[in-house]
Amino acid sequence: MSGEPKREWTLNDFEIGKPLGRGKFGNVYLAREKRTKFVVALKVLFKSQLQKNNVEHQLRREIEIQSHLRHPNILRLYGYFYDESRVYLILEYAAQGELYKKLQEYGRFSEPTTANYIKQLATALEYCHRKHVIHRDIKPENLLLGLKGTLKIADFGWAVHTPSSRRRTLCGTLDYLPPEMIEGKAHDANVDLWSLGVLCYEFMVGNPPFEAEGHRDTYRRIVKVDLHFPDYISEGARDFVSKLLQHDPEKRMRLDMALQHPWLVSQSQSFSD
């Protein structure tokens, strides 16, 4: 399916299977392309919902960005089509589903498991940044797992293609927002470095580092970088996370340095399924 010339798809091309997930603007279904028997995830979005919430431009951006990305750790968007009331996205099927559910099931991940996921995520983000794409909404709910447990970044709804590189909209999810976005300053690809640090912490601990009772307290903790580690977190892991969670975006550890960090290298090597 991936190597075929561009063609017009319709709903008749697919056999629709079980629902895989439910979103604000529609649902995702397991589907199979009738002719090739190729299995995909079909994301069905309702135009009325998109219009009501004024997110059509966001969807166009998501399609535009995701259809140009080719990386083993980024969910493929094979194509899209629409009818009078719906928009359909033909996506790669991630057989193991949401990473978020796995984290809930286990409570927290071991350091080798965490390092394995973070390494894959950092590699994908490095690829995105080379293509001038900032994701801006990296969180467990936006990460899926393929058949063999390969991590896949999904949902580029908040991503932005920025040759100009600095933006000022408040987006992303509260727990993962970096200080510069909370403070309303311009931001660039360094926001994804912050999110990587937040995720690394959450994978090992089971909840994000700046979680608090209310929005205001969470904001305050983020801006102060009020970071505390449980006793069981190793020195190497603390060093890795602390180097990403720097208030000054320019001081955050770069992705190439993160991928060479001794903790990440040693722990991801000791990972086994």
Both 121 and 201 in a single domain? yes
Both 114 and 238 in a single domain? yes
Question: Does residue 5 belong to any structural domain of this protein?
Answer: no
**Is 13 one of the annotated active-site residues of the chain?**
no
Question: Does residue 127 belong to any structural domain of this protein?
Answer: yes
Give yes or no for a contact between 109 and 130, defined as CB atoms under 8 angstroms apart. Answer: no
pLDDT attached to residue 157: 57
Task: Report the candidate in 109, 110, 89 with the shortest Cα–Cα distance to residue 100.
Answer: 109
Of 51, 73, 92, the one marking the end of a domain is 92
3-class DSSP state of 26: strand
Question: Does residue 106 belong to any structural domain of this protein?
Answer: yes
Based on the structure, what is the number of domains in the chain?
Answer: 2
Of 39-43, 118-122, 198-202, 268-272, give the lowest mean pLDDT range.
268-272
Give the contacts of 257 (CB within 8 A, at least 6 positions apart): 243
Of 61-65, 165-169, 176-180, 225-229, give the lowest mean pLDDT range.
165-169
Both 84 and 202 in a single domain? no
Of 92, 118, 147, the one marking the end of a domain is 92
Both 175 and 265 in a single domain? yes
Both 136 and 63 in a single domain? no
Of 35, 58, 92, the one marking the end of a domain is 92
Give yes or no for a contact between 121 and 240, defined as CB atoms under 8 angstroms apart. Answer: no
Q: What is the pTM of this model?
A: 0.87
Give yes or no for a contact between 109 and 203, defined as CB atoms under 8 angstroms apart. Answer: yes
Instruction: Could you list the residues known to form a binding site, using ranges.
Output: 24, 43, 92-94, 141-142, 155
Q: Which of 13, 83, 137, 217 is catalytic?
A: 137
- CATH number of the domain at 84, please: 3.30.200.20
What are residue 5's phi and psi, to 5 degrees?
Answer: -65, 155
Instruction: List helix spans (H) across 98-206.
Output: 99-106, 111-130, 179-182, 190-205
Question: Does residue 4 belong to any structural domain of this protein?
Answer: no
Task: Report the candidate in 42, 22, 135, 124 with the shortest Cα–Cα distance to residue 91.
Answer: 42
Domain ranges, residue 137: 97-270
Give the contacts of 106 (CB within 8 A, at least 6 positions apart): none
- Calculate Rg over the CA atoms of the chain: 19
- CATH number of the domain at 111, please: 1.10.510.10
Both 62 and 107 in a single domain? no
Instruction: Could you list the residues known to form a binding site for ATP, using ranges.
Output: 24, 43, 92-94, 141-142, 155
Both 24 and 135 in a single domain? no
* pLDDT range class, residue 61, cuts 50, 70, 90: confident
Please give the structure tokens belonging to residue 195.
């999110």
